Amino acid sequence: MKNVLLVCGTGASSGFMAKNIRKAAKDIGKEVSVKARSDSELDEYIEEIDLLLVGPHLKYMLDDLKKAAEPYNVPVQIISEEAYGSLNGAAVLEQIEKIIEL
């Protein structure tokens, strides 16, 4: 099973997104662990994740997050504003599947 971490400012809005991604994965028979946390908690999870997804409102932090993830070979991607704003778990699941094999 692949482990995906979603980060946003406080971890609140990404919690709803993570839930919708898990539901979308279950609906099509895919197994993926998706956790939502604050960006300040990244160090606690970086060693155990396969992908780091970032809320679009944290785009300004992308370079720093990539630097933090690089030693662990963890890809980092921004979630599209449209998918994030509508909490479209299926759309973000498609994004995940383009980056890592589920």
* Structure tokens belonging to residue 49: 């994740």
**pLDDT tens digits, one per residue of 12-68:** 678 999 999 999 999 999 999 999 998 889 999 999 999 999 999 999 999 999 999
Domain locations in the chain as residue ranges: 2-99
Q: How far is the C-alpha of 62 from the C-alpha of 83, rounded, in Å? A: 18
Query: Which is more confidently placed, 22 or 102?
Result: 22
**pLDDT tens digits, one per residue of 3-25:** 999 998 766 678 999 999 999 99
What homologous superfamily is domain 2-99 in, according to CATH? Response regulator (3.40.50.2300)
Considering the candidates 4, 5, 6, 8, report the single residue annotated as catalytic. Answer: 8
Look up 74 and say whether it is catalytic: no
Give the residue from 76, 56, 47, 51 showing the smallest Cα distance to 64. 76
DSSP 34-89: EEEEEGGGHHHHGGG-SEEEE-GGGGGGHHHHHHHHGGGT--EEEPPHHHHHTT-H
pTM of the predicted model, to two decimals?
A: 0.94
